[in-house]
Amino acid sequence: MNARLPETSTTPERIAALRAAMTAAGVDAALVPSADPHLSEYLPRRWQGREWLSGFTGSVGTLVVTKDFAGVWVDSRYWVQAENQLAGTGIELMKMTAGQQSAPHISWLAQNVPAGGTVAVDGAVLGVASARALADALDARDVTLRTDLDLLDAVWSGRPSLPVEPVYEHVAPHADAQRPGKLAQVRAAMAELGAQYHFISTLDDLAWLFNLRGADVNYNPVFVAHALVGPDEATLFVADGKVSTELAQSLARDNVRVVPYAQAAGALGALPAGSALLVDPRRVTFGMLQAVPAAVKLVESLNPSTTLKSRKTAVEAQHVRATMEQDGAALAEFFAWFEAALGRETITELTIDEKLTAARARRPGYVSLSFGTIAGFNANGAMPHYRATPESHSVIEGDGLLLIDSGGQYLDGTTDITRVVPVGTPSAEQKRDFTLVLKGMMALSRAQFPRGIRSPMLDAIARAPIWEAGADYGHGTGHGVGYFLNVHEGPQVISHYAPAEPWTAMEEGMITSNEPGIYRPGKWGVRIENLLLNQSAGQTEFGEFLKFETLTLCPIDTRCIDLALLREDERAWLNAYHQTVRERVSPHVSGEALAWLDKRTQPI
């Protein structure tokens, strides 16, 4: 009997089919993470199994299915969305709370799968660090972990194949450092760690290292591949037909071979005995490492490219500044249209996405959005990762707050910005929340700190004004941002929920978001976000210090501010920021957009 289901099947039918496949394989519980063989945040369609099975479309979540239970674990950003999308499916929403361990589903499995039972998860999409934690918890309860099954293949009819979009070079003047120099930097780091070989699976690391880009993942200009870097040669494992003959020749000149994607495991298996292989256990899968011979020593450390690509060069930083001016001009055009159209034509959350995307697309160097636009009016804005759909969206009318979180991919940089604007008359409570968030955002923007401080430790600076008012928010304050790469990258992260590991140290050239918030479920949400660049603040007898340069160029709507809550130094900072925005964006706009820009950057 063929249990594979078509796309027209329902969520309960898909879960039932998965349970049948589990029974046939002798499995008591199936674990379906939000992951692919590259441990990507945003997944090619082939590996969106958790979404296909459960119907929950958030970018992060873990599905566990047993014979009498199904649940999806999500954090607070997705609670409302998951509750709505899981309703009536028989799948429970399992809420992960702030400060909770990062993988509570592991504890649940250890406690609920009977001794002697079996848990199955596809090892090809299971990170090494996660596999170890899972195995340790299950072994202690005499539960077997199987990583050799891909149960999705047994039930998902028409499962998408590997992406086929072509790979292309990111060239000068947009790309500053050249491929041979980057490979030399990585090899130097390998040598320091005593490794002759280095295996890389993360797609943004590969795109940076080889100065290549692609379109295999929505919003991220990356391509599906693995790489093995040796002492003198590097091998890029990528699907046939994605690399042109001309590009292959260009890579060959830099001693980079292109071979079929499926040969990656075989190449690992052929590593010479006695050699050492550098891997990042957080960025490579358990299934892939099973191919490494026992006679090869594993050296575990952060991918050198992760740190190197986070530190933008002076030339890249200058390109990003120019991109921010163009992105700011697109936003000025959009907001000029929005304010003129409000109350005169029907505007929905979907209209916001359409008009803002069109404004960015008119700008030079634009490639795509950097993530799906979040446009949430009133209660929808209280869901940090809300996404309007044709089936469920709001009309922008009446009184309240409209939150817009959006960004673009340009050949010279990646943008990410959140602004909240008033619709009608905002209430005193809404103004208070907005002003508290603004105070937190400004506090972090103005911070000076020792070079090398672990980035999670900066989180409290942004939260302090919000905590003082008895409020908080359930997400991090900042994430790293790539250079025409992923809008979320490491190693830095400004979040007290994240461990302050050595590799999270703040270094010059890093670009990080600054986005505190306050969310009132069922009412409204406020988040204000700029991107910041780490710059040298000089050296004192106490060591080197860094400060932030604000990169994002778009007015912060002063109509939402309770001016009584701002100190004079905060007003001065905001006025100076608006003057900078006006001076740098105005040469790129005219007419109504220029008039809007001038009006919204007047001093308070």
Question: Above 70 in pLDDT, residue 102?
Answer: no
Structural domain spans, the chain: 11-155, 168-308, 311-600
Return the SS3 of 376: strand
Question: Above 70 in pLDDT, residue 100?
Answer: no
d(CA 179, CA 552) in angstroms, rounded, equals 29
Q: pLDDT band at residue 3, thresholds of 50, 70 and 90?
A: low
d(CA 400, CA 377) in angstroms, rounded, equals 7
Scan for tokens 């490219």, then name that residue. 305
Q: pLDDT band at residue 1, thresholds of 50, 70 and 90?
A: very low
d(CA 578, CA 591) in angstroms, rounded, equals 19
DSSP state at residue 272: P
d(CA 348, CA 356) in angstroms, rounded, equals 12
Scan for tokens 């100190």, then name that residue. 567
Residue with the bigger pLDDT between 78 and 557: it is: 557
User: Does residue 269 contact residue 291 with C-beta atoms inside 8 Å?
Assistant: yes
CA distance from start to end of the chain: 72
Residue 468 C-beta-side C-alpha neighbours within 13 Å: 13
* pTM greater than 0.85 (yes/no): yes
**pLDDT, tens digit, for every residue of 373-429?**
999 999 999 988 888 889 889 999 999 999 999 999 999 999 999 999 999 999 999
Instruction: Answer whether 11-155 and 311-600 agree in fold.
Output: no
Return the SS3 of 350: helix
d(CA 420, CA 525) in angstroms, rounded, equals 9
User: Does residue 465 contact residue 479 with C-beta atoms inside 8 Å?
Assistant: no
**pLDDT, tens digit, for every residue of 267-324?**
999 999 999 999 999 999 999 999 999 999 999 999 999 999 999 999 999 999 999 9
In DSSP terms, which residues pair with 246 in a beta bridge? none
CATH 3.20.190.10 is held by the domain 168-308:
no
Question: Above 90 in pLDDT, residue 103?
Answer: no
Residue with the bigger pLDDT between 340 and 9: it is: 340
Which of the residue ranges 56-60, 228-232, 462-466, 498-502 would you say has the lowest mean pLDDT?
56-60
d(CA 531, CA 505) in angstroms, rounded, equals 18
The burial class, CB within 10 Å (0-12 / 13-18 / 19+), for 534 is buried
Which of the residue ranges 130-134, 330-334, 377-381, 514-518 would you say has the lowest mean pLDDT?
130-134
Which of the residue ranges 130-134, 262-266, 384-388, 573-577 would you say has the lowest mean pLDDT?
384-388
Q: pLDDT band at residue 440, thresholds of 50, 70 and 90?
A: very high
468 φ/ψ angles, rounded to the nearest 5 degrees: -60, -30
**Predicted pLDDT at 2:** 42
d(CA 330, CA 335) in angstroms, rounded, equals 9
In DSSP terms, which residues pair with 421 in a beta bridge? 402
Question: Above 90 in pLDDT, residue 500?
Answer: yes
Q: pLDDT band at residue 76, thresholds of 50, 70 and 90?
A: confident
**pLDDT, tens digit, for every residue of 85-94?**
999 999 999 9
User: Does residue 310 contact residue 510 with C-beta atoms inside 8 Å?
Assistant: yes
Choose among 322, 332, 319, 338: nearest CA to 586. Answer: 332
Kindly give the pairing relationship between strand 197-200 and strand 276-279.
parallel
Question: Above 90 in pLDDT, residue 6?
Answer: no
Residue type at position 240: D
CATH superfamily, domain at 311-600: Creatinase/methionine aminopeptidase superfamily (3.90.230.10)
Give the pLDDT mean for 45-58.
Answer: 92
Residue type at position 560: C
CATH superfamily, domain at 11-155: Creatinase/prolidase N-terminal domain (3.40.350.10)
How far are the Cα atoms of 219, 293, 364, 482 from residue 249, in angstroms, in the given order?
A: 28, 31, 29, 27
Give the pLDDT mean for 152-165.
Answer: 90
d(CA 424, CA 167) in angstroms, rounded, equals 47
Mean pLDDT of the chain: 95
Q: What is the CA radius of gyration of the chain?
A: 25
Return the SS3 of 400: strand
Residue type at position 267: A
**Predicted pLDDT at 75:** 85
Give the pLDDT mean for 224-233.
Answer: 97
Kindly give the pairing relationship between strand 168-169 and strand 212-213.
antiparallel
* DSSP-derived secondary structure for 63-118: EEEESS-EEEEE-GGGHHHHHHHHTTTTPEEEEPPTTS-S-HHHHHHHHHSPTT-E
**Predicted pLDDT at 5:** 63
**Predicted pLDDT at 78:** 83
Question: Above 60 in pLDDT, residue 99?
Answer: no
Q: pLDDT band at residue 97, thresholds of 50, 70 and 90?
A: confident
- Work out the percent of the chain whose per-residue pLDDT is above 70: 98
